[in-house]
């Protein structure tokens, strides 16, 4: 690949990074049926007692969930029966009541509005530095330059 897209905070050191999106809040969500059966966690630590829907990067690493607790960043390595490689799969599984998901809030606005998903632990939510296009070198092909120029925030 010539380039990739990740949250800015996840771009590997040494890569050239171009912001292509605004900051993004990540939401912890589940279906009403899931919470009816298993209850609502009141803190991020209580997520350890729940079936959390995992996200695996294409390279194989598991994604941890970021929170702010008492003004300090907190990373949680979640556990659960299900692991996915796309946010869309996590959202679908959460809507089906299979567990609690951790997804960009912009992707689930309709589900929150129509009650298919419930946003929890808002007071601990973490905001990421938006999506960035990243690539490994300064020698950029004309095609990649066109993509960069088209996507970068003005």
Q: Is residue 90 located within the same domain as residue 19? A: no
Is residue 137 very low, low, confident or very high in pLDDT (cuts 50, 70, 90)? confident
Q: Is residue 91 located within the same domain as residue 56? A: yes
Q: Is residue 119 located within the same domain as residue 43? A: yes
Model confidence pLDDT, tens digit, residues 45-88: 999 999 999 998 877 788 899 999 998 999 999 999 999 999 99
Name the domain count of the chain: 2
Model confidence pLDDT, tens digit, residues 86-121: 999 999 999 999 999 999 999 999 999 999 999 999
**Phi, psi dihedral angles at 104 (to 5 degrees):** -60, 130
Q: The domain that contains 98 carries what CATH number?
A: 3.40.190.290
Q: What is the pTM of this model?
A: 0.78
Is it the case that residue 153 has pLDDT exceeding 90? Answer: no
Q: Is residue 112 located within the same domain as residue 146? A: no
The boundaries of the domain holding residue 62 are: 24-128
Mean local confidence (pLDDT), 23-27: 90
3-state secondary structure of 146: helix
Rounded CA gap, 90 and 83, in Å?
8
Q: Is residue 40 located within the same domain as residue 82? A: yes
Q: Do residues 125 and 43 touch, judged by C-beta distance below 8 A?
A: no
Rounded CA gap, 35 and 68, in Å?
23
């Amino acid at each position: 690949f010539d380039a990739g897209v990740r949250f800015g905070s996840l771009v590997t050191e040494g890569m050239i990074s171009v912001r292509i999106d605004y900051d993004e809040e990540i939401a912890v969500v589940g279906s009403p049926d899931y919470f009816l059966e298993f209850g609502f966690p009141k803190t991020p630590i209580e997520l350890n007692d729940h079936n959390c829907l995992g996200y695996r990067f294409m390279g194989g690493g598991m994604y941890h969930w970021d929170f702010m607790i008492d003004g300090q960043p907190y990373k949680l390595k979640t556990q659960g029966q299900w692991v996915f490689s796309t946010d869309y799969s996590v959202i679908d599984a959460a809507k089906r009541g299979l567990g609690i998901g951790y997804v960009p809030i912009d992707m689930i606005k309709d589900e929150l509005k129509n009650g298919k998903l419930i946003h929890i632990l808002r007071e601990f939510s973490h905001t990421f530095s938006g999506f960035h296009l990243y690539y490994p070198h300064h020698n950029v092909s004309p095609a990649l330059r066109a993509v960069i120029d088209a996507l970068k925030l003005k």
